[in-house]
Structure 1
């Protein structure tokens, strides 16, 4: 007998993967959590029926959350990651030696616990001495830490359940206040095939707060449609003005200095969403 996991990404479309083993299922205080081992993608974290990360393709998402912003800011010493309890973004942030402290604020401690147990290649840096892990509400942490961070990264689920507040203009205004005078923020903003309205709304809201707003894309096979967007808001520095010849090569599998600006070259239908 074969076992298959299916994520219903819309009412009419989904993806499916053959399962070797279900490692854990639990209804936490915030969401339904599952860790499964798939034949094609390896171990997979699923929250509320949505694929969050897999061992095989996780590097794309985590690298593209972290490196464009950190290579745009000239001196990112203090970095905040909201969400991201699997630890992948933290792992990438720590590849930048100028980062003195990286703070992870994850609302669901079970995500951290099971990621450490089943996804050690992703969560392996969560115990690094440069990292502070806080199990709390990221929305409230932002509110309580004004003028604190050089870069803030929002590694959230889709805008359902505990992540709903992380897609509001009030949250983006709080991020602006929590950043220093030359700070940068970046958030994952879903896909343009099924969530065009979300991308338009986020882009409009962020533009009302940040003077420089850029959208970029990456290919993530296990995310809905495979084409994923990220939105960056900057107080001072423009990612398109970065001299790519001065970006230091680091250990990556997707992001490169040449890709830094190329990722901001959007397909026309995506570009139209940002106008």
Structure 2
């Protein structure tokens, strides 16, 4: 007992390990949460970049369909049980006494671009269905599984389950699986829950990735894959993890000096050497909002085309015909769109020019600019709407699109909606040309009744609209587009690019142009005069519409299933029909250009 008035020299009670334990526990929980969120974000980002990397070879729709196929398969019961079993085996073989998951998925990401590049050379044999599936299964799926299993591993270390005790200690499969079915289900449920969060993040990242894709090289598809992998390595926060990255030196060297898909000067030279061996030459390329945009020339036949992913937006021959100021187009369907000017009583050539100078046209979708350039040449005040700035830039730099027109860069749905709200813009245009195509199929949102009604409000009562649809006319989606347009415009005439099939086939892929008016009265096209041709032999042959489609064509067979398309109410059957049309377009494009040209982008 301490005497009164005398202070004790005993030290004050120090903070013990138990006093700091709650703080450390909460800090470990916070670190775990941040690690989970960061890993899921990077896994989602990597999956989205992988999808973008496939679009130049397969188009935008087949990779999306393959992702849905993979996700649907993983959600089936039999896949769920296999997933639980894989979690068990993974924890058994990757216990703390072995290398962790983070050191593997950080390294695996470096190999993905090289593996994808190698698999692209088999795209012609795999096709648009199994090509993306096999690429996903050999690249992004292993990375995703390793990432999710790594998180299950971390969570199990923080909140120990019986599954991670006895079996993991003995490395016995029987003992491991016998540690309790309930805990196995718990681990599998955790894996499934994390996978759903990753899918949610992928959907949210989709538009962001499209907006950031492009120049500089770090924002290219393969550049973003490397950035994601470096962040994975940093997330591992382990010197051993960084040491394992040195095993990826070969794929990194492949990307830097051999891979044609990286937009660096040396790699572009490699790409051009490959294309020249096939008789083609790259003029320009850039990754942009709607996909991989490039301009290249056929050295043997003397024409130039613009490519968007696995589609061709148009082309023209490089040698102008005698007496013409313009190059001849490779694809004549764009000349047929100019027939909107032929909806008149036949005037003299002088009257024709005088009339055109008072007309206004709206063109939705620029492509290489064939139709708007012709309207401008005829003195029509032309406004173009193009969502992709690179497409418009390339059309003016490398093709015949002049700059003396009003150019609007933006989403046509928003642009037309804003015009529709402005009263002074209603009944403004004499001609409207609707010519949109991306990703191997028509963007279905630009064919809904709401969008077509917006165009109708902008069209003068005496005006005419031309709507180009490219797809398989035997599929229900084609009939849906026709029924949707005819629900807005009371009178339409339909024409196809090529003559109709003589015998029934499984596919009837072609361009179809719908000419429509706001009046229910019948209309015809006048015969063109010399001024209409602009000195072009191709216009002389293809300007006036040919190969009219009878009204009964879409009232039989599969076309009977066509429905009116409404914004936000597109049925699953219509989406499947669009995917089938995209597959048909893929096969058609492989007959236009050799496989090696599509595979080397």
Length-normalised TM-score, structure 2: 0.37
How many residues matched? 251
Indicate which of 340, 343, 346 corresponds to 1:69: 340
Is 1:105 the counterpart of 2:389? The answer is: no
Partner deviation per Cα, 1:26-64 (whole Å, 9 max, x = no partner): 221332212222244622211121111122443512211
1:189 maps to which residue? Answer: 469
Asked if 1:260 corresponds to 2:539, the answer is: no
What CA distance in whole angstroms lies between the structure 1 residues aligned with 2:442 and 2:541?
Answer: 34
Counterpart of 2:223 in structure 1 is: none
Work out whether residues 417 and 454 of structure 2, in 8 Å CA contact, stay in contact via their aligned partners in 1.
yes
Structure number with larger C-alpha Rg:
2
Q: For structure 1, which runs of at least 5 residues remain unmatched after alignment?
A: none
Aligned CA distance change for structure 1 residues 177 and 274 (closer, same or farther; 3 Å): farther
Q: Specify the alignment match of 2:372 in structure 1.
A: 90
2:316 to 47, 51, 55: 55
What residue number does 2:395 align with?
A: 115
1:239–1:140 Cα change, 3 Å: farther
In 2: Cα distance, 1:245 partner to 1:54 partner: 24
Q: Is the 8 A contact 2:336 2:542 kept in 1?
A: no
Identify the match of residue 33 of structure 1 among 279, 293, 296. Answer: 293
- Shift in alpha-carbon separation, 1:197–1:29, aligned structure 2, 3 A: same
Change (3 A) 1:243 1:153: closer
Q: Give me the whole-angstrom Cα distance separating, in 2, the residues matched to 1:239 and 1:60.
A: 26
Partner Cα separation in structure 2 for residue 161 and residue 176 of structure 1: 23
Q: Quick one: distance in 2 between partners of 1:69 and 1:217?
A: 15
Q: Distance in 2 between matches of 1:137 and 1:83?
A: 10
2:456 to 176, 200, 203: 176
Give the whole-Å Cα distance in 1 for the aligned partners of 2:442 and 2:548.
32
Structure 2: gaps spanning 5 or more residues: 1-55, 63-126, 130-274, 318-328, 346-354, 420-425, 500-506, 557-601
Match of 2:161 in 1: none
Q: Distance in 2 between matches of 1:247 and 1:143?
A: 38
State how far apart, in whole Å, the 2-side matches of 1:50 and 1:19 are.
Answer: 19
Contact 1:31 1:161 in 2 (8 A): no
Give 2:306's aligned residue.
Answer: 45
CA 1:71/1:243 → structure 2, altered by over 3 Å: closer, same or farther?
A: closer
Are residues 58 and 154 of structure 1, via their aligned partners in 2, closer, same or farther at CA, if it must alter by over 3 Å? farther
CA distance in 1: counterparts of 2:461 and 2:523, whole angstroms = 19
Deviates more, 1:45-54 or 1:17-26: 17-26
RMSD of Structure 2 on Structure 1 (CA):
3.6
Q: Is the 8 A contact 2:307 2:313 kept in 1?
A: yes
Q: CA deviation at 1:117?
A: 2.5
Cα gap change, 1:113/1:225 in structure 2, threshold over 3 Å: closer, same or farther? farther
Where do 1:9-24 residues align within 5 Å? Answer: 11=128, 18-24=278-284
Distance in 2 (CA, whole Å) between partners of 1:134 and 1:216 is: 29
Q: Which residue of 2 aligns with 1:273?
A: 554
Hey, what's the Cα distance between the residues in 1 that align with 2:532 and 2:522?
Answer: 17
Judge conservation of contact 1:60–1:219 (CA < 8 Å) in 2: no
Decide whether the 8 Å contact of 1:60 with 1:253 is kept in 2.
Answer: no
Deviation at 1:165, TM superposition (A): 2.2
Q: Partners of 1:44 and 1:249 in 2: how far apart?
A: 24
Identify which of 397, 410, 430 aligns with 1:150.
430
Q: 1:165 to 1:58 in 2, by over 3 A?
A: farther
Assess if the C-alpha contact under 8 Å between 2:314 and 2:331 holds in 1: no
Return the alpha-carbon distance in structure 2 between the equivalents of residues 248 and 114 of structure 1: 28
Q: 1:84 & 1:274 partners in 2: Cα distance?
A: 32
Match for residue 587 of structure 2?
A: none
Q: List per-residue Cα deviations over 1:101-157 (Å, max 9, x = no partner).
A: 1001111111121222322xx32x2x12xx111212222222222322111101211
Contact (CA 8 Å) 1:72, 1:239: kept in 2 or not? no
Change (3 A) 1:174 1:87: same
**Structure number having the greater strand percentage:** 1
Once residues 110 and 96 of structure 1 are traced to their aligned partners in structure 2, the CA distance between those partners, rounded to angstroms, is 26
Deviates more, 1:151-160 or 1:209-218: 151-160
- More contact order relative to length (CA 8 Å, sep ≥ 6): 1
Q: Deviations over 1:171-230 (max 9, x none)?
A: 11111111122221111111446x64332111100111101111112249xxx9774211
- Asked if residue 140 in structure 1 is aligned to residue 399 in structure 2, the reply is no
Compared CA separation, residues 134 and 162, structure 1 to 2 (3 A):
farther
The residue aligned with 1:78 is 360
- How many angstroms apart in 2 are the aligned matches of 1:50 and 1:41? 20
Which among 517, 522, 538 is matched to residue 234 of structure 1? 517
C-alpha offsets along residues 45-89 of structure 1, whole Å, 9 cap, x if unaligned?
1112111112244351221112x2111156661100011142211
